[in-house]
Amino acid sequence: MMYKGDIIIIPTDTVFGFASLLHDQEGLKKINHLKGIKKPQPIPILISNVNQLKEIAVINRKSELLMRKYWPGHLTIIFKTTPEFFEKTKEETVAIRMPKHPIPLKLIDMYGPLRVTSLTLPEEKPINEFKAIEKQFKKHVKEIYPQGQIPKSDQSSTIVDVTKRGLKIVRPGAISEAELLETIK
């Protein structure tokens, strides 16, 4: 079981990530601490189905087209938040992704959407080898889930912002800007 303040490490279809419960401020602080981040940053959310977006994000035409084509998969979309979510978190926008990996999907089905961010330390590439992850983080987290049979990727997801006019690539990744622009025509 996962409780308030618990941090776990999970595989995804892109890279491994630190995870905590969606509204767990204690867990989010621990993640920022483990990543060496002094000023807290918003942590993306992983979902297991589109219905989970209703309480979190405002879906527009662009996001709907992108979700249909690339979810589950390697695309993180930045949405405007719902008034209810803003009230709880004070976040005007939020990055959300639906991974294509059975372990996070099962955990999300059990606990609801999770806050998940890659296992990166400042100015470094993501840590993506299970033994290195265990060595560095085992004593700091509740559990580390192995990759399993799903092929891993060393490339993080593409992050795209659809909250304003047009489309803005926030972080290049597995999906090119040209592919994304073609999708929202």
Q: What is the pLDDT along the chain (185 residues), one digit of tens a residue?
A: 999 999 999 999 888 999 999 999 999 999 999 998 888 788 999 999 999 999 999 999 999 999 999 999 999 999 999 999 999 999 999 999 999 999 999 999 999 999 999 888 777 777 888 999 999 999 999 999 998 877 777 778 999 999 998 899 999 988 999 999 999 98
CA atoms within 13 A on the CB side of 112: 11
For β-strands 45-46 and 17-21, DSSP reports them as: unpaired
CA distance 22 to 16: 18
Residue 111 within a domain: yes
CA distance 118 to 104: 13
C-beta separation of 164 from 63 below 8 A: no
With tokens 């979190």, the residue in question is 56
Residue 88 within a domain: yes
**Beta strands in 82-127, from DSSP E residues, in sequence order:** 93-97, 114-118
- Domain residues for the domain of 120 are 8-183
Domain count, the chain: 1
Domain CATH code at residue 30: 3.90.870.10
With tokens 């992704």, the residue in question is 97
User: Residue 81 corresponds to which amino acid?
Assistant: T
